[in-house]
Amino acid sequence: MYLHSTAGAADPPGSTHTLAADGGGIFAGVESWIADNFTPIADGLSNFVFAEVTLGGVTFPWIVSWLILGAIVFTIYFGFIQVRKFKLATDLVRGKFTDKNEPGEINHFQALASALSGTVGLGNIAGVGAAVTIGGAGATFWMICAGLLAMASKFVECTLGVKYREEHEDGTVSGGPMYYLSKGIADRFRNGFGVGLGKVLAVLTAIGILFFGIIGGNMFQSNQAFAQIRDVTGGDDGIFGSDGSALIFGIILAIVIGIVIIGGIKSIANVTSRLVPTMGVLYIVACLVVILVNFTAVPAAVGEIISGAFTGEGVAGGMIGALIVGIQRSAFSNEAGLGSAPIAHSAVKTKNPATEGFVALLEPFIDTVIVCTMTALTIVIAKPAIWTQGFADVNQNGADAPDGVTVTSNAFATVMPWFPYVLTVAVVLFAISTLITWGYYGEKAWGYLFGRNTVSIRIYQVLFCVMSAAGAVLTLQSVIDFADAVLFLLALFNITGLYLLLPVVKKEVKDFLGKIDSGEIQKKEKTKV
């Protein structure tokens, strides 16, 4: 759910988004003042986080290398656990190894749905469209590979999330990188350096999650949702083109979001456990319609994806170009290694931290390997003119890639001319689910930094809802660019901590699998999610 992915999978720092805004009055003045004063700060951080390195003639942000290197190390360290224990992960989601009376707030399926609601979003629609335009069909192959590797990163961070979570007297739970970095590193090294390092990493991570939660996971989502609704209803001349319509939309959205997040993770889980499957099924069914209508083209499309991965002509030529774009799309979609998902997974009902690590590894599989791949396959099979011409323009003439969401929408329109309306529903559902989940993530970061008493949390919730409403009106482009950079800067802090805590995760895995082997934990035959 990377924000720049709306424009493309390889956007440079400071790139712009197509955002809605009411251009007059006080809002324009506020936006202008913020842009003038905040842009240098945003540009500075973005230039560092998204600084590019060159490999084989292709440039890409170094942060992508950091994320994929971590995923490779974790995959090897745990012996390709995402492959060996995939069946166990699905059994755990179905509740076959856990008891409803175990400590925590939500079951494994609800935890997975809550975390997925924060990652499945516009990046799966728009970002993939841009990726296959820049990198060609072959980018899809490497996107899948990177998604499979990212499963190991989610496994590690979410195991730690449960291991070091805090269970409060009222039965609620707080977890995430703020807790496993501070408590875990201090516990493992048991010296002043370990305590200090863990605390610094934890505070920096909490600040990053809080800032992105309020801006990127909040304002950007409400803005994009309104933009799509306004565009599909006639733009400036439609029913949502009048002055004030954006603010009214934002207020209504904020009320809906506020009702959900005030109820806590149980309320959030109840919504996302229904919303995520609904929007996922809606979107995948639309993909399948296009694929089935063009069924005879499927073998050729699959062949194009595989051959393009090694011989493609995208992005300055050959395998390296397709590989980089595919990996980048995966990293910017599933957030593996950033430390956000462990916050939701930490609330799960379990006595064994490794159980949620196994459940969490399914997240990149669903988000990237399934949803992103379905989008890419739909585009490659449908071959809309904007994609074929866009690919030629980008790689032969050096032109900018067409808007990713337009590429995807046009692919669906080859079979379903009315698809923009379906896409609008999907975008709104994706925005709401992301808003809900990042509202919770931000709340946990706020509680870690400022205390989790009732007054403190209510202040945060009001602030979050106000910013949701404002997001439909203000673009705050420089602030959103800054939030982008902050989110991915988290990977620097989080993965450093994950490396230090790998032995802890290995012990948890050994203990849990040992309980299954000994019969202490037995598989239940009849379960209900």
CA dihedral over 168, 439, 338, 377, signed as positive or negative: positive
Percent of the chain past pLDDT 90, that is, above it, reads 19
Question: Residues of 118-137 as b/e, b for ≥16 C-beta within 10 angstroms?
Answer: bbbbbbbbbbbbbbbbbbbb
The pLDDT of residue 7? 33
The pLDDT of residue 503? 95
Q: Is the pLDDT of residue 323 over 50?
A: yes
Position 321, amino acid: G
Q: Is the pLDDT of residue 46 over 60?
A: yes
Residue 6's SS3 state is helix
Q: What is the CATH number of the domain that holds 235?
A: 1.20.1740
Residue 83 lies in a domain: yes
Residue 522 lies in a domain: no
The pLDDT of residue 23? 45
The pLDDT of residue 13? 33
Phi, psi of 52 (to 5 degrees): -100, 145
Residue 131 lies in a domain: yes
Q: Is the pLDDT of residue 52 over 50?
A: yes
Over range 476-488, report the average pLDDT.
Answer: 73
Residue 17 lies in a domain: no
Residue 6 lies in a domain: no
Residue 43 lies in a domain: no
The pLDDT of residue 201? 93
**More confident call, 27 vs 262:** 262
| Alpha-helical runs (H) found in 353-453 | 353-360, 362-364, 373-382, 385-397, 404-413, 419-450
Q: Is the pLDDT of residue 130 over 90?
A: no
Q: What is the pLDDT of residues 205-214, one digit of tens each?
A: 999 899 888 8
Q: What is the pLDDT of residues 90-105, one digit of tens each?
A: 988 887 777 767 777 7
Query: For residue 86, which of 364, 369, 371, 362 has the smallest C-alpha distance?
Result: 362
Residue 435 lies in a domain: yes
**Structural domain total, the chain:** 1
The pLDDT of residue 154? 93
Structure tokens belonging to residue 318: 């050959």
Residue 515 lies in a domain: no
- CA 219/CA 222 separation, integer angstroms: 5
Over range 221-242, report the average pLDDT.
Answer: 74
Domain holding 387, by residue range, is: 57-506
Q: Residue 333 belongs to what H/E stretch?
A: helix 318-334
Q: What is the pLDDT of residues 421-475, one digit of tens each?
A: 777 777 777 778 888 888 888 989 999 999 888 899 899 989 988 888 887 777 6
Query: For residue 438, which of 186, 221, 194 has the smallest C-alpha distance?
Result: 221
Over range 129-138, report the average pLDDT.
Answer: 76
- CA 95/CA 108 separation, integer angstroms: 7
Structure tokens belonging to residue 184: 């875990």
Per-chain mean pLDDT for the chain: 79
Q: What is the pLDDT of residues 367-416, one digit of tens each?
A: 888 888 888 888 888 888 877 776 666 666 666 666 666 777 788 888 87
The pLDDT of residue 10? 33
Q: Give the number of C-alpha atoms closer than 13 A to the C-alpha of residue 128, restricted to the C-beta side.
A: 33
Please tell me the total number of residues recorded for the chain in this structure: 529
The pLDDT of residue 285? 85
Position 510, amino acid: K
Alpha carbon 27 to its chain's center: 29
